[in-house]
Amino acid sequence: MNLRERCALHLYAGVMGVLQPLLRVKLRRRARVEPGYAQHVAQRFGRDLPERPMLPQGAPLVWVHAVSLGETRAAAVLVNALREALPDMRLLLTHTTATGRAEGEKCLQPGDVQTWLPWDTPAAVRRFLTHFRPHVGVLMETEVWPQLVAACGVHRIPLMLANARLNEVSLAKAQRWSTLSRPAYSGLAQVCAQTAADAQRLRQLGAPAMGAWGNLKYDATPESSQLAQAAAWRSAAPGGWPPTVLLASSREGEELQFLEEIRRLTQAGQAQGATNGDDLGRQQIRWWVVPRHPQRFDEVARLVQAQGFGCVRRSAWTSSGPMPDSGVSPNPLPTVWLGDSLGEMALYYALSDVALLGGSYGPYGGQNLIEAAACGCPLVLGPHTHNFAEAADQALAAGAAVRVADMAQGVDAAVRWLSETPSQRSQAASAAVGFAQAHRGAARRMAAEVIRLLSLPPGR
């Protein structure tokens, strides 16, 4: 690290220190909607940390940081592969968001520890590392913090960036702050990029990223109990389960677009779906929305009702599923069903015949499309999929997805998909599953790389 980079890191440390009170304010505000943000706040500053795990003789402490829900699910796949190879390992699992921490509890076994990742100041990071003394660190996807990487170098803890991705927008931002970003990326011991394009962009920042390792999310398998539950509810529905369109992992602004298109189709007398291409009037389409962020569940419910639609929330269901008449709206407009639960995307995909990918109809880069495909749910992609660019292209080539220019075209494409014959729809579902299964293997490769880093002499 040259003098300019050291000065930049010192200035960055000062700014992060000054911002600590604002972080506390932000956490209090978030806790009003998500109480998890009020828990163990001191841990975010490297204080009141849980005890370091007791390690069996010769066993490593593997630290994995997964910022939020999606990264935690990907991390779980890697952790499972590591446990197969290192059955005595202990896991130190860190997060930044409440949803990530809640999901991460599923990964823990006796002897493991879970905590918040410390705020990126020298003191907080130092307290965290000296307390836990992990043998190796694994950061998931994009979580590269300048002070954290620098401190791991001082403590001789090898850091790996797993399932790494970097789009053009993020690369441009990082290059504008190259005096901070370049030492951080070059300080990593290994970078396992999802695609060759990601690797090429990461190398521009000095990261040791050679080749494509694949995407851990292909190795994740849908929750079998949720698939079974969906199948049971579908088969038990009086008169059969209606054709269903899902807006999955929606972001702000996309729900309103979706509702406006449902209104357009309803007013045009075209909002009737069917189980075959000869009868478009037999059953009304069931419309689903599942927001990406749980703090927006109530907001989206209010939006649906304010637009004149009926609203049925997943949280109001019993264990026997939706009531037979709960989807009937007294309004001229149809009922919209709201998925307001966490960790049930496999259930929602299995209940749907086609899904519009949230985050791809606004400038968000798209959400994870692999889980939908693994559940056999074909996809309609909007124009913005740069977060999963290669996966999106592969899904299109496999016949598991189609791409449209905007929400209007997306809803029309979904309705056309419902009009296909049962054999055509079954073929699209099979293509989705086949696409998801064809790209597995990243977990085994990345786990082997973690083990290699553990075998290196300290400081290498």
Q: Which residues are catalytic?
A: 71
Determine the Cα–Cα distance for residues 312 and 294; give it in Å rounded to an integer: 16
Q: Which of 312, 350, 339 is nearest to 225 (CA)?
A: 350
Determine the Cα–Cα distance for residues 347 and 324; give it in Å rounded to an integer: 18
Q: Which of 102, 196, 94 is nearest to 143 (CA)?
A: 94
Joined tokens for residue 289: 């929305």
Using left for φ > 0, alpha for ψ between -120 and 50, and beta otherwise, residue 180 falls in alpha
Neighbouring residues of 269: CB distance < 8 A, sequence distance ≥ 6 = none
Joined tokens for residue 392: 């999106």
H or E element that contains 289 = strand 286-291
Determine the Cα–Cα distance for residues 80 and 412; give it in Å rounded to an integer: 41
Joined tokens for residue 242: 């209606």
**Single-letter amino acid, residue 431:** A
CA dihedral over 337, 434, 191, 393, signed as positive or negative: negative
Determine the Cα–Cα distance for residues 340 and 348; give it in Å rounded to an integer: 11
Q: Which of 401, 398, 399 is nearest to 372 (CA)?
A: 401
Q: Which of 143, 115, 141, 111 is nearest to 127 (CA)?
A: 115
Hey, how many other C-beta atoms are within 10 angstroms of the C-beta on 355? 30
